[in-house]
Amino acid sequence: MTECFYETLGVERGSDGATIKRAYRKLAMQYHPDRNPNDEAAEQRFKEISEAYDVLKDDQKRAAYDRYGHAAFANGHGGGAQARGFDTDSFSDIFDQFFGDMMGGGGGRGRGQSSARRGADLRFNLEISLESAFHGVTENIEVPTSVSCDDCSGTGAEEGSSPEMCPACQGAGKIRTAQGFFTVERTCPGCKGAGRVISSPCKSCHGMGRVEKTRQLSVKIPAGVEEGTRIRLAGEGEAGFRGGPAGDLYIFLSIRPHKVFEREGTTVYCGVPISMLTATLGGEIEVPTLGGGRAKVRIPEGTQTGRQFRLRNKGMPQINTPIYGDMIIEITVETPVNLTKAQKDTLRGLADELGDKHMPQSTGFFSKVKGLWDDLTD
């Protein structure tokens, strides 16, 4: 029994186009022949996924499938099950031809049209540091991909020969079959939809017009990029089939977590420890910034743990603008540890004088605190 197209893609019948597209892309990447070389089962599964998507992505084809099921695409030889034998390109024009004729249009490949096809788009995941995202950087990457075959210049034919028109479909790439009031097109088995055949294929690429190779590319990353930023390199994707244009390369950026700073948009957060003496008496501290410098921060008397200070224009740059965000530091007051008995007694004496919650704001009090700190740090 032929599997339901919705089950093939793992979606519900009422799913919208975006859901169907996401499901197809996920499965296509998993079962793509380039990722599963010499795996006939994966190749067959990829064809089934492509057949299902070709129907469900088109509103007219999907409506016909929802009403008639696989019978809507039967060609009179074995009913709907015969559709499984179609090449992945076969469904793309089945209804295009039918509805095109009704509206005065045409479908299918023109006679003698080139068999060249555009190469696939590629994705490359690149992780960079937060400092690189702040300053901007040029990264060198290595991308395994298909490139145009040098020996045949991408034609797929051996030197001295060229692709010829397919005698079975006369260059159309498709064969039409009439069934009642339906006119169904299926991919030509002779040329597999290319419209041309190669009698003397290139020995280097075996007639494909492209070969596998690892390319080295430079990627310019602007200052201020965020997690998930996508950079498109036009024409740097997979080489086209038999001389077709190359696809694009998409760089997806991720930012490596930093040991000191955290980022939220253009705002940078940083935790800063200070001594009990500085928190009590106040003072001036220096804190590092993401740009590599240091900034001075005035700490007022009586600063508590958790208090935040904002440093203007010390955060991340806003991409493609001269605008910078802010840096926010959060104070943590350090408590002395490993005290001697004498130091603990001194602290207890000060605690008795201060009481549990009251802290007199007097010069004499601060002198005692400073004297205590000097005693603790001796």
Q: Which residues are annotated as a binding site?
A: 149, 152, 166, 169, 188, 191, 202, 205
Joined together, the tokens standing for residue 268 give 């940078």
- C-alpha dihedral (58, 63, 64, 65), degrees to nearest 10: 80
- C-alpha dihedral (229, 234, 235, 238), degrees to nearest 10: 20
Considering only CA atoms, which of 106, 78, 107 is closest in space to residue 91? 107
3-state secondary structure 266-293: CEEEEEEEECHHHHHHCEEEEEECCCCC
Half-sphere exposure of 266 (CA within 13 A, CB side): 16
Considering only CA atoms, which of 97, 95, 116, 94 is closest in space to residue 106? 97
| 176 touches 97 (CB < 8 A) | yes
CA distance 230 to 137: 15
| 303 touches 282 (CB < 8 A) | yes
Annotated binding-site positions for Zn(2+): 149, 152, 166, 169, 188, 191, 202, 205
User: What does DSSP assign to residue 71?
Assistant: G
**Cβ-based neighbours of 2, under 8 Å, separated by 6 or more:** 70, 80, 81, 83, 84
- Hey, is 233 helix, strand or coil? strand
**DSSP per-residue codes, 119-136:** PPPEEEEEEE-HHHHHH-
CA distance 4 to 48: 10
CA distance 38 to 29: 16
Name the one residue in this structure whose structure tokens are 């045409």. 106
